[in-house]
Amino acid sequence: MAGWLKGLMTEVVKEVGYDVVMNAVSIDMPKCKFCQSTNVVKNGKRNGVQYYLCKDCGRGFVYNRGLPHMRYPIDVVADGVYDYYAGVSLNKITDGIRQKIGRKPADSAIYGWVKRLKSILRKSAISGLLMNVS
């Protein structure tokens, strides 16, 4: 093989390898739920759940792709709230979530999701209206 071709292939392999490693690191690296920093360290396991500590804001969290102070992923919460407003009973909503992820939230948890997301949507709608006025 010609020297220039071997050098070119080496550079391509290095670039591809670098991209693969950097993408793998960015996928597996959790972000702080509160400040979105990636400057986090593992902070032990409790009941088999990995906890993390943010070095920027000092807060601890579980990396479960949920909203802060929520135990369930956002897609499960969104489905539960959607079903609630569609008129599905709380028992059917909790049974559906149990079938989907294997855990059954309390009825009060679903009602709490509805209250919390309603206030968030109300605040974002008000701020959106104020931005349109200015």
Residues 59 and 34 in one domain: yes
Tell me, yes or no, whether 51 lies in a domain.
yes
Give domain status of residue 15, yes or no. no
Q: What is the rounded average pLDDT for all residues in the chain?
A: 79
User: pLDDT band at 9, cuts 50/70/90?
Assistant: low
Among residues 18, 48, 63, the one where a domain terminates is: 63
129 located within any domain: no
Average pLDDT over residues 27-53: 87
Residue 89, pLDDT score: 92
pTM above 0.85, yes or no: no
For residue 43, the model assigns a pLDDT of 93
**Residue 47: which pLDDT band, with cuts at 50, 70 and 90?**
confident
What pLDDT is stored for residue 25 in this prediction?
Answer: 46
The predicted pLDDT at position 87 comes to: 93
Tell which residue, 121, 124, 125, 97, has the closest CA to residue 109: 97
Please name the residue that has the structure tokens 């959607």: 82
Hey, is 118 helix, strand or coil? helix
Note whether 79 and 120 are same-domain residues: yes
CA atoms within 13 A on the CB side of 60: 8
> Do 104 and 56 lie in a common domain?
no
- How many domains does the chain divide into? 2
- Pair (54, 75) in one structural domain: no
Q: Which of 8-22, 31-45, 111-125 has the highest mean pLDDT?
A: 31-45
Domain boundary among 43, 63, 83: 63
pLDDT tens for each residue of 49-104: 889 999 999 999 888 766 667 788 888 888 898 999 999 999 999 999 999 988 89
Q: Which residues contact 50 (CB under 8 A, 6 or more apart)?
A: 42, 62, 63
Is the domain of 120 the same as that of 81? yes
User: For residue 52, what are the domain limits?
Assistant: 28-63
Using CA atoms, how far residue 42 sits from 2, 45, 71, in Å, is 48, 8, 18
Residue with the bigger pLDDT between 28 and 41: it is 41
